[in-house]
């Protein structure tokens, strides 16, 4: 697992060089970028307007400082509808990474009935403040500086990803179909974290190095 992760690091650094002269979102798929109130009408009512039905099953109850949601191509048999979020557990005074996914049979694709009825499986890990705070800053920069250029590419199928962060009293959301550029780098990074969480093998020191290499 450690060897495969460093392979990902090398690939991501290559992407960093490739897009260093043009950080804009060029020739990517459709996207939606929103900034809204994080809470509606009371301190207990979180704003879930940017979350669809499936996403709310995985990222329920509140909006976290860091959220990532992955909906794979419908033909991808080896990928899981999955998410993770990182938040501060004030009671235990620690940061937590919560990983969840929709269960499915091996070598199959998601059907509508599976998506609506299947079991949600999740794991939680305690993570350090340095990793969480570095990640939060990079997620803010990614969404804040996201600028589209040119015209949208005509794409069939493909992955959909959602990045979300809480900034003071606001919740920022960026949904993308088939990300490119900086969004692709962050998406690949987030998917690697989910693979590591699935294997119960997080390496926060490596994650911090990758985050610090991002020049958003």
In this prediction, residue 203 carries a pLDDT of 96
Q: What is the average pLDDT across 170-193?
A: 95
* Partners of residue 67 on adjacent β-strands: 85, 164
Residue 161 half-sphere exposure, CB side, CA atoms within 13 Å? 21
* 24 band by pLDDT with thresholds 50, 70 and 90: low
Q: Which two tokens stand for residue 108?
A: 């199959």
Q: Which two tokens stand for residue 85?
A: 């979020």
Spatial separation of the C-alpha atoms in residues 54 and 4, rounded to whole Å: 30
What percent of the chain has pLDDT above 90? 65
* Per-residue model confidence as pLDDT tens digits over 144-179: 999 888 777 676 778 999 999 999 999 999 999 989
Alpha-carbon distances, residue 188 vs 5, 62, 161 (angstroms): 11, 25, 10
Q: At what angle do helices 181-198 and 129-144 cross, to 10 degrees?
A: 150
* Per-residue model confidence as pLDDT tens digits over 42-91: 888 999 999 999 999 999 999 999 999 999 987 788 899 999 999 999 88
pTM for the complete prediction? 0.86
Spatial separation of the C-alpha atoms in residues 136 and 159, rounded to whole Å: 23
């Amino acid at each position: 697992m450690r060897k495969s992760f460093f392979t990902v690091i090398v690939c991501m650094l290559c992407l960093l060089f490739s897009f260093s002269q043009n950080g804009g979102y060029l020739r990517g798929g459709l996207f939606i970028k929103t900034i809204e109130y994080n809470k509606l009408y009371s301190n207990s009512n979180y704003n879930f307007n940017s979350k669809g039905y499936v996403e709310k099953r995985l990222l329920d109850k509140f909006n976290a400082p860091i959220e990532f949601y992955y909906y794979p191509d419908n033909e991808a048999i080896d990928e899981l509808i999955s998410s993770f979020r990182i938040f501060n557990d004030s009671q235990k005074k620690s940061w937590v990474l919560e990983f969840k996914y929709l269960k499915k049979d091996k070598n199959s694709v998601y059907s509508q009935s599976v998506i609506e009825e299947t079991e949600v499986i999740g794991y939680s890990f305690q993570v350090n403040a340095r990793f969480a705070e570095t990640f939060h800053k990079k997620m803010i920069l990614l969404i804040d500086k996201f600028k589209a250029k040119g015209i949208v590419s005509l794409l069939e199928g493909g992955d959909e990803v959602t990045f979300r962060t809480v900034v003071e009293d606001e919740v920022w959301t960026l949904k993308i179909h088939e990300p490119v550029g900086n969004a692709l780098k962050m998406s690949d990074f987030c998917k690697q974290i989910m693979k590591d969480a699935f294997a119960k093998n997080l390496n926060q020191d490596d994650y911090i190095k990758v985050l610090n290499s991002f020049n958003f």
